[in-house]
Each structure stands twice: as C-alpha cells, then as structure tokens.
Amino acid sequence: MAGNNIAITLVSLILVVGVVCGAVLVLQGVDDASSGKGDHGVSTGSMKSVTTFCQYAEYKDVCAKSISHVANNHSATTKDFIFAAIKATLEEVHKSHQLVVNTKIEQSTDPYNHMAIEDCKEMLQDAIDDLQASISVVGDTELHTLKHRADQLLNWMSAVYAYQTTCTEQIESRLYKSAIEDGMINATQLTNNAINIIAEMSKLLKAFNITTTTDLLHKAADKNNNNNNNTTSRRLLQTDHFPEWFPIADRKLLAAQRRGNLRPNVVVAKDGSGQFKTITGALKSYPPKHKAKYVIYVKAGVYDEIVEVGKKMKNVFMYGDGAGKTIITGKKNYAHMKITTSKTATFSALGKGFVARGITFRNTAGPEGHQAVAYRSQSDMSAIFDCSIEGYQDTLYYHTYRQFYRNCVISGTIDFIFGKGTALIQNSIIIARKPLVHQFNTITADGKELAKAKGGVVLQNCRIVPETALNPLRFKVKTYFGRPWKAYSTTVVMESQIGDLLSPLGWKIWDGENFEKTCMYYEYKNSGPGANTWRRNRAFKKFDVLGPIRARHFTAGLWLDANSWLPATGVPFAIGYTK
C-alpha cells in the first residue's frame, strides 16, 4: 500500500511539473504570435531597452520574457524593470514552493526524504520572504539611489539561490529530486538572472544614462582602508562607537555589557537559579514583535539540547560564562541517524542579528558520525565572539547571509567550515583534529555556485594548528586549507599563521568535479612553516597570492560592509588589515 501511495505521488508530481512547463510553452507561443511585435510580444521600439537591461543576464530569453509586460510601457524606468524581474522570480519560487508542498512522502516508509522535503518547504519559504523584502526595497527606493541598495539586494538574492539549491541537494531519492529540480528550473534561472543584473547595477544604471548619488558608505570605507593600511590592528578596532541609527537603548545595553553589569531579560541556569533551566525554554519567552535586543544569560553548565533561535526571534544576544564553562552540546549526525545535514545542528541561529559571546557549541558525534553540525547560521548580520565551535565533519555551517566570527576556537576534520553565506573569521584559532583512518582534513568547503553572487569565507589573522591527538600524525594525515564544494567556491586565507601540518599543496580537488578550474582560492601575507606557496596545487587555475590592493576587498569593511552593521553588535573587529 505504501508503495502505491509513493507511485501515485510521483505521477502527480510529474503532472504538476508538466503543467508548469506547458504553461511556459503556451505563453511563448502567444508572444511569438503577437501581431506587429517582436520576440516575447515586445514592440520593436522597446526591444533596445529590453536588450540593454538583460545584457548581464545569463538566460537572456528568460529575462526578456520576465519584463516583457513592462517594456511596452514607454514611461517604464530601470527601476520598473528590476521590480518586474524580481516579482517574476517571486512568482516562480511560489510555484516551486507549492510543488514541494504537494510532494507527499510517508515518514514511516522513507523518513530521510520526508525530512528533506520538510527542509525544502522551510527553505523555499525563506526564499519567498527574501524576495518579498527585495521587492519592498526596490519599490521604496528612488531610482538614483538604487545603486546603494545593490549590496543588500545581492545578499538576499544570493540567499534565495542558496535555499533553492540546498533544497534539492538534500533529497536523496532520484525520482523526487529530478521532478522537483525540473519544476524549479524557471525559478533558478530567474534568480540567476537577478543576481547577475544586480551585481552589475552600476553598469546597468550607466547604460540607461542614470546619474547616481555618491556612494558615501563605500567611499568612507575605501578612505578608511587607505589611511590605515600600515597601522596596527589596535588602531583599527571599532569598539567605541555605534552608528547614528543604532537605538540609544541598545547603545546603553552594550555599554553595560562592556562594563560587566549587563542586566539580561532572562537567565538560564541548570541549578534552577534562573527563570529557566533550558535555553529552549528561555527562547520561548521571546516577546512577539520584539524589536530591541533580547538578552539571554546562560550560566555555566552543560546544556544537552538542540537549540534553534527562530527566524522571528531577531536581535537575540546570548552570552555565557565563557567557552568551556557554558556548553551547549548535542550528537545528531547523518551517518547513524540518517537525517539531513541542516537538522544535525546542535545550535541553529535563524533570526537576524544574532550575537553570541562566551559559549561553547559542540557536536559529540565524532568522526564516525560524518556530517554533524555544531553551529548553523542563516542569521544575517550575526556575530560570534569568544566562542568555541567544536565537532569533526561539517562543524560550522555558515549557511546564508553575512556572518562575523572573532576570537573563536573552531575545530574539526572534513569540510569543518562550510556553507553558502558570506563569512569572515578573524583573530581565531583553527584546530585540525584526528580523522578516521584513510581520511584527510579540509578546513573549508565553500559553496558559492554563481560567479557574481555574494558568498565565500575569509580566514584573517588566524592560527591554524593540530590538536594534540593529530600532532604526531600531522605529516601522515593530509590537511588542506579547503576544497571547492561548488563551482565558484571562494576562500581566502590572509595574515594568518600556518602550522607545519598543512600540506604543501594547500588546496584539495573535489573528486569527481572540475571546480578547480573556476573556484577562487587566494592567500595573502601569511606566516609560519605552512605559509610557503611555491608548491601549491597548480590544478587550481585561479589560485593567486594577492597583493595589498586586491586583498583589501576581503577585509571586513568591503567583504561584509561592516561599518553599516558590525559596530552595533558590540563585538570588536578590525575594519581593514590586521598587520
């Protein structure tokens, strides 16, 4: 009976996909048949605008179709084209989401793929939310200032693409995976186009002869970096000021934190001396529609629980009594429990603006557990300070958006710092651990899939060392900076001290793929016995040892647009170089 249900579901799924694809073909036919009009029903006089707008899109025909209804409006602006392109993407992602909602997999007969589909629903809903936010931003922004919102739009659109691909790659059933991938083709192509167009916003506006206002933020960041290239990291620490827009109440709160007399909203304590004995219980007390910082103090102790800071829980600041004292631990893993990588996380931060300080996030599944995440973040503008993130394979999952890590200890074996977001790890200790027999260590595995999307990971002013158990085997067990999880994987190791455990090759090919031809792996001003680059793996066609001008792009000011949000976290950071 269960087998019949699955077969019926697959037939229904294929029919839905067929209807979607058929609708596209019918629309194309209508466009071509439109009397007196060119391709996509666009008048000949409007084709120049369409061609100009879609010149940066990878799927130009799809792009032209998505804005065809706007193109014939002769008063339409570039802003109207961008709005239409994102709106078309939203409509297709809605269809993808509905397709997944209609996909029924019995939990009792196929628990893993059932979970993967549930994950997929959540991620596509997150994609919808980001697209709706993008539409609101475009709608509320004046045409001549659109350039200044490009970075935020690109941040969201890159996350939309990451959610789409994560959705399908976690599904193991070939039948379901193929059907859903086919049903998402329009959505992924439109998202791809939107990313490429937004990434070239300046060129696009120039092509339409639109004069923009000066980008003061980037100009200030450039000036700051130029003035401080030769200064010490102490002078670059941004700890004594907050942006003018930052609420006065939050400024006082973070100032109190620095003085050591911060008063939390709630206290968690294993011994019952707080309002809650569990972190999950404390998070449930988060007030609806709360806007200010919500402060949770977690006293010393071992908290064996799976924690999620929900998407609606924004601006949560969680602090403990110190890494190694306040410990959040779990042991969920893929190998023994057969659950999706996302769901293996001991701690997940989804709400925007999450900040953590003085906490250990741990997954104890060990190397035998394979994928076993200790900390997963899809929290935009998040900062982790004075924390320890401990695991083996897939320890730290920087899933989406902008993330900053400072003064942390991060440990693992295979791909233990991985994700599709934009992360900077600064002034931290990176510890390679002893893997299983015949395994290797790869510190990073970045998942950037499109050349012009936001994404990648930077290790700045870090120390890369072996754990005690690995030390006597460090020349036998190969340890690499990383390997490319996706085609445009971007990883930078700069101003860091590299131990002798690192393989002279530096970077490892992802077996079975050709990503070494397109990925971007860079090093800058590293030191230590592992820093010599003359024997690096030459299979990586774009590998380079950067000079100071190019390396500056990967410092906090430009890589994370740090001055616009990082001071508000209260976490110290270097805006530019640290050496």
What is the three-state SS of 81-131? HHHHHHHHHHHHHHHHHHHHHCCCCCCCCCHHHHHHHHHHHHHHHHHHHHH
Cα separation, 76 vs 53, in Å, equals 12
Q: Are 570 and 257 in contact (CB under 8 A)?
A: yes
Cα separation, 430 vs 388, in Å, equals 10
What is the number of alpha carbons within 13 Å of residue 324 lying toward its C-beta?
A: 4
Cα separation, 81 vs 73, in Å, equals 11
CA Rg, the chain, in Å? Answer: 24
Q: Is 415 among the residues known to form the active site?
A: yes
Sign of CA dihedral 517, 522, 527, 533: positive
Neighbours of 466 (CB within 10 A): 21
Sign of CA dihedral 296, 312, 377, 307: positive
Q: Are 292 and 250 in contact (CB under 8 A)?
A: yes
Separation of first and last alpha carbons in the chain = 66
Active-site hit among 130, 151, 386, 394: 394
8-state DSSP, 273 = -
Active-site hit among 130, 151, 415, 446: 415
Q: Are 170 and 116 in contact (CB under 8 A)?
A: yes
What is the three-state SS of 40-93? HHCCHHHHHHHHHHHCCCCCHHHHHHHCHHHHCCCCCCHHHHHHHHHHHHHHHH
Q: Is 250 among the residues known to form the active site?
A: no
Helices marked H in 530-579: 548-551, 556-559
∠449-146-125 over CA atoms, to 5°? 45
Catalytic residues: 394, 415
